[in-house]
Amino acid sequence: MVASEIRDPQKNLPRALIGGTLTVIVIYLLANSAYFHVLMPQEVANATRVAADMMQKILGGPGASAVSIAAMISIFAALNGSILTGSRVPYAAARQGYFFSAIGRVHPQHHTPGVSILVMCLWSSLLVLSGKYDDLFNLVIFASWILYGMTAAAVIVLRRKRPELYRPYRTVGYPLVPVLFILGAFVLILSTAFDRPRESFLGIVLILIGLPFYFYWKKRLPGRVV
């Protein structure tokens, strides 16, 4: 989402994506190994705050409190990253004429999509006040993975339809990696739809609500017809 703002994206973007993903995998596996080393499998399955439960078993109340504080710091950091990157999506849509033009403005001093960032913050705050975290999480994850799968599929489609396009960096392991990603996204979407049908349905409705606005702005673009 922020590829256009990265210096030397041909080298740094693959490094960030591959290196960051591998680092997260290692940390995640180490954390889960610690959970199962300290807690019984049934305790892990029934825990709502498994890290706090583990530390409480090791260090008592202070340990659980320390993990809770660390979790809040981590959540704030994740929200910061999500808003800064997610705001680039409506910004890009506005720059191409598919959203309100004001969203595409760049701050004259900081050279960032300031309006889009503010709008994303306000919209996120509204969503937080609208329901429970679990409901929002499943609704967003279901809808997002549909779009993630479509994005990966677009790599294959564009390779076939537009082979002449300039590509600053190529997908590593093409076509196996995109195909595996699409299959993984499909499995995750089906699993979420089966386990959380209500949130999945709302996620689809949320996407469909945006279609009339998309066609409206598309019709207004010069030289474009629906």
Say if CB 61 and CB 177 are below 8 A apart: no
The per-residue pLDDT for range 89-117, each reduced to its tens digit, is 999 999 999 999 999 999 998 888 999 99
User: Is 18 within the bounds of a domain?
Assistant: no
pLDDT band at 225 (very low <50, low <70, confident <90, very high): very low
User: Is 29 within the bounds of a domain?
Assistant: no
Reference 167, options 154, 180, 176, 185; nearest CA is 154
Report in angstroms the alpha-carbon separations of 185 from 20, 23, 137, 144.
20, 21, 16, 10
pLDDT of 138 strictly over 80: no
User: Is 67 within the bounds of a domain?
Assistant: no
Q: What is the pLDDT of residue 202?
A: 84
**Structural domain boundaries, residue 214:** 132-226
Report in angstroms the alpha-carbon separations of 181 from 21, 60, 145, 217.
14, 41, 10, 31
Q: What is the pLDDT of residue 223?
A: 58
Q: What is the pLDDT of residue 32?
A: 93
The per-residue pLDDT for range 114-137, each reduced to its tens digit, is 999 999 999 888 877 876 777 777
Number of structural domains the chain divides into:
1
Backbone φ/ψ region at 45: left (φ over 0), alpha (ψ -120 to 50), beta: alpha
The per-residue pLDDT for range 154-190, each reduced to its tens digit, is 999 999 999 998 887 778 788 999 999 999 999 999 9
User: Is 225 within the bounds of a domain?
Assistant: yes
Phi/psi at 168 (5° precision): -60, -35
User: Is 52 within the bounds of a domain?
Assistant: no
Residue found by looking up tokens 């959380």 in the block: 196
Say if CB 178 and CB 153 are below 8 A apart: yes
**What residues have CB less than 8 Å from 34, skipping those under 6 apart?**
54
User: Is 42 within the bounds of a domain?
Assistant: no
User: Is 196 within the bounds of a domain?
Assistant: yes
Query: How many CB atoms sit inside 10 A of residue 183's CB?
Result: 12
Q: What is the pLDDT of residue 226?
A: 39
**Could you give the CA distance from residue 179 to residue 175 in angstroms, rounded to a whole number?**
6
The per-residue pLDDT for range 4-61, each reduced to its tens digit, is 778 888 888 888 988 999 999 999 999 999 999 999 998 888 888 888 888 888 888 8
